Structure formats: C-alpha cells, structure tokens
C-alpha cells in the first residue's frame, strides 16, 4: 500500500529546474500556490502542475486553508536520492565518503568526531 508504482519518481521530479526552485522556496516556509507563482515567469496553472508532480513524488504536501492551498516541503523522499548517490560516492572517494560509509554500514555504533585546530585552507 505504500508503493503504488507512482507515475513520477523523485529523480524525474527534480529533473526540472523550475521544480527545484519551487523546492528551495518551500524549504523556507509553507506557501500558497499564488505566492509561489509570483516567483516565476509562468502561469499559475503551470506552477500548479509542477506542484502536482512534486506531490506525486512526495516531495511536497498541500493542505487547504480557507480558499487557498498551502504547500510545504517534505524532504524525506530525498533519502532515495541520497542512497543512490551514496553508492557512487565510493568511486570518487574523499574524506567525506569514507565517513559516510562507516556511518551507513555500522549505523548503530557510537561515533565521535574530533576536530583539530582550524588551519589555513586555501
């Protein structure tokens, strides 16, 4: 019941630059469609469609308040993307990817991060 073979997945949802901007907007605060539209050079209907797609991918959720519908960010679905990325990070290994590997493979462990004196980094 939780995986209804949805038409739009996260990867497709974030492929469009307008939709990525919408996500960024909504990350600041919940907004009604009309206010979101004000930030873009296109019609309200177009934005509504983008919101529908983002909603299908469960990246946003909308609630009706009075006569307006307010959308908010729902970032949890981005974990799918993150996991996908994690797989490839092992191929361009750097300090961060090593850390991530340890954390993700041994999630239950206690971790201590010890920072040394800040140095001049070019």
Contacting positions for its own copies (CB under 8 A)? 11-12, 14-15, 17, 20, 23-24, 27, 73, 75-76, 78-79, 81-82, 84-85, 87-89, 91-92, 95-96, 99-100, 102-104, 106-116, 118-121
Among 78, 122, 51, smallest CA distance to 86 is for 78
**Could you say which DSSP state residue 107 is in?**
T
Residue written as tokens 């308040």? 65
Instruction: Write down the least CB distance from residue 82 to its own copies, Å.
Output: 6
Q: Which SS3 state, helix, strand or coil, does residue 68 take?
A: strand
Regarding 25 and contact with DNA (CB under 7 A), the answer is no
5 by Cβ neighbours in 10 Å (0-12 / 13-18 / 19+) ranks as exposed
Q: How far apart are CA 52 and CA 58, in angstroms?
A: 9
Regarding 53 and contact with DNA (CB under 7 A), the answer is yes
Say if residues 14 and 53 touch (Cβ distance below 8 Å): no
Regarding 50 and contact with DNA (CB under 7 A), the answer is yes
Contacted entry of its own copies, DNA, none for residue 43, CB cut-off 5 to 8 Å set by kind: DNA
Instruction: Write down the least CB distance from residue 13 to its own copies, Å.
Output: 9
Residues of this chain that interact with DNA (CB under 7 A) are: 7-8, 12, 15-16, 18, 32-34, 37, 42-46, 48-50, 53, 62, 64, 66-70
């Amino acid at each position: 019941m939780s995986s209804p073979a949805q038409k739009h997945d996260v990867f497709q949802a974030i492929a469009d630059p307008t939709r990525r901007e919408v996500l960024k907007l909504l990350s600041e605060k919940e907004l009604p469609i009309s206010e979101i539209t004000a930030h873009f050079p296109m019609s309200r209907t177009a934005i509504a469609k983008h919101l529908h797609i983002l909603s299908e991918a469960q990246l946003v959720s909308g609630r009706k308040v009075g006569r307006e519908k307010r959308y908010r960010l729902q970032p949890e679905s981005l974990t799918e993307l993150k996991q996908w990325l994690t797989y490839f990070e092992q191929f361009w290994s750097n300090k961060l990817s090593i850390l991530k590997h340890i954390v993700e493979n041994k999630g239950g462990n206690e971790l201590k991060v010890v920072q040394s004196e800040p140095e001049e980094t070019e």
